[in-house]
Amino acid sequence: MSTNSILEIDKLSYAYEDKQVLEDIDFSIQSGSFVGLVGPNGSGKTTLIKLILGLLPHKRGTIRLFDTPIEKFKDWNRIGFVSQKANSFNTGFPATVYEVVSMGLTAKVGYFRFFTKQHMQKIKHAVDIVGMTEYLHKNVGDLSGGQQQRVFIARALVSEPDFLILDEPTVGVDAENVQRFYEMLADLNKNKGITLLLVTHDTGTMTSYATNIACLNKRIHFHGDPHSFEHMSDQDLSEMYGHNVHLVKHEH
Amino acid sequence: MISSFLQYEFLQNAFFTALLIGFIAPLLGTFVVVRRLSLIADALSHVTLSGIAFGLMLDKKLGGFALTPFYTGMGFSVLGSIFIEQLRRVYKAYQELAIPIILSGGVGLSVIFISLADGFNTDLFNYLFGSVTAVSRQDLWTILVVALVVTSLVFLFYKELFMLSFDEEHAVVSGIHAKRIHFLFIILTALVIAASIRIVGVLLVSALMTLPVAASIRLARGFKQTIAFSILFGEASVLIGLVAGYFFEIPPGGTIVVTAILILIITLGFKKLQQRSHFKKVMS
């Protein structure tokens, strides 16, 4: 194993044409942590994720993944990604749960190679982890929003990533299942040792599961443990969100 | 039927060609439909027509020219597919704009070439609506090569093509060369369209790529099954249509497409009955 740093961002800035979206971001993630990245709409969360995934070229600052500058980083298999769009896919698409999860291995298996029995086992195992085995051969379009999100997590897990990034994964999942969903993530973090970065605008439920919280609004306004986050003054929060907000404390 | 089949080479040519395109058109068609690119098939078939018209014109002007209209059509189809991709890249926000540009361009060129070739003749009519008699042995060999190339490339790149169809962003994040795979896909589509034209004709080729898939998608579970059912329906349409076309002396393009539509209607009806009985079971 390499050192403990999964992600290190230094003095990162980003602008779309003349609109500054991210400014002077310093941010790091240590191995084994479960980081919640919160921020209001338009705070640059998705842009930051795109930069980390190399979907956007960055011009100012540095990004290091697993101690390698992103420009040289090749080990994309070590990073799993569940996008915000995952649950707005074409629900008429005829693909079974098994087929969707198998896509998580496509790049790892590589060109001109086919899935082996071992790969098939891995696919079934990933589906099992998210508790969807009984739906293995059902079309994903026929499942509920929460179930679909689980399938997309399984797709990200099947390549056995060390670092899993989730962008607003609970959008479209009903409240009751959100809780179960976070429990599953916390379990992956604790028992499988997967480092998690969860992007969300919902500060409530997440604080009871995450080990670190970072607040983003163009800049990183806060980075620390959930306990001190909950004790952030309303004034600090308002400054960050740019209007009056009150943190909803989550009892647990 | 069987004795004339054994007796006439043109019937054998038509039969085997039909079997081949009944396989490759729905195979590629499944990817085309799920990617919501059905109209691209239409645009490409019209570009193929301009290629065919170009071939007919060369034949007329130069006489005994080495390239038959079938090959010029195939060449134009492939060039057209590359051009569509360029246009889709230029008009990122209006990707569908590429289709009317290419389609009208294809028809415009066709009209010019056809006029230069001194207007309509039976040859052109065969290309428009398909023909049982027009397939030569050499055409059959060419279509066989196209079918082998297309099938083996789809087999080889199946998992990448599938991934790209389902979720392009995810494919890119995972490190799949989305642009190259897409390029391969569009070229294969162009080849399949050009190959299918001999039997179903320019105007109906996109139907053979989409109708069997439309029926299959209602019944199948998963993507592989969708492909399998599409091919099954495609073969059924092509064979029934070809035999009907031969007996009634109608261009097979028409009978093939009408068969495919009948299959689609039966499928939809079957699905409706199934849902109704399921509903009854739930209610009782």
B7 vs A63: CA distance, rounded Å: 73
Q: Encode pLDDT of A128-161 as tens digits.
A: 988 899 999 999 989 887 888 889 989 998 988 9
- Cβ neighbours of residue A219 closer than 8 Å, sequence gap 6 or more: A22, A23, A24, A25
What is residue A2's predicted lDDT score, i.e. its pLDDT? 44
Residue among B201, B189, B207, B166 nearest B82 (CA): B189
Note whether B221 and A96 are within 8 A (CB): yes
Does residue A248 sit within a domain? no
Does residue A247 sit within a domain? no
| Three-state DSSP state, A31 | coil
DSSP-derived letter for residue A210 is -
Does residue A105 sit within a domain? yes
Could you report the predicted ipTM of this complex, rounded to two decimals? 0.87
Q: CA B111: distance to chain centroid?
A: 22
Q: What token pair was written down for A43?
A: 């705070």
CATH of residue A24's domain is 3.40.50.300
Q: Encode pLDDT of A168-226 as tens digits.
A: 887 767 777 788 888 888 988 998 899 999 998 777 777 888 888 888 888 887 777 77
Q: Which of A89, A92, A114 minimises the CB distance to B167?
A: A89
Show residues of chain A in contact with B162, CB under 8 Å: 95, 99, 103, 106
Put simply, whether B228 touches A (Cβ < 8 Å) is no
Put simply, whether A139 touches B (Cβ < 8 Å) is yes
Domain spanning B13-204 has what CATH number?
1.10.3470.10
- pLDDT band (50, 70, 90) for residue B51: very high
The answer to whether B217 contacts A100, with C-beta atoms less than 8 Å apart, is no
A204 vs A170: CA distance, rounded Å: 12
Q: Encode pLDDT of B133-190 as tens digits.
A: 888 899 999 999 999 999 999 999 999 999 999 988 788 878 888 889 999 999 999 9
Is residue A248's pLDDT more than 70?
Answer: no
Number of domain units in chain A: 1
Q: Which of B34, B159, B175 minimises the CB distance to A93?
A: B34
Show residues of chain B in contact with A76, CB under 8 Å: 173-175
Inter-chain CB pairs, A–B, below 8 Å? 78
What is residue A126's predicted lDDT score, i.e. its pLDDT? 92
Phi-psi region of B177 (alpha: psi -120 to 50; beta: other; left: phi over 0): beta
What is residue B155's predicted lDDT score, i.e. its pLDDT? 96
Does residue A87 sit within a domain? yes
Chosen for mutation from B162, B173, B176 (greatest number of chain A CBs closer than 10 Å) is: B173
- Cβ neighbours of residue B145 closer than 8 Å, sequence gap 6 or more: none
What is the end-to-end Cα distance of chain A in Å, rounded?
35
Put simply, whether A148 touches B (Cβ < 8 Å) is no
Among the listed ranges A32-36, A90-94, B264-268, which one has the minimum average pLDDT value?
Answer: A90-94
Is residue A252's pLDDT more than 70?
Answer: no
What is residue B181's predicted lDDT score, i.e. its pLDDT? 94
Does residue A161 sit within a domain? yes
Domain that includes residue A35, residue range:
5-241
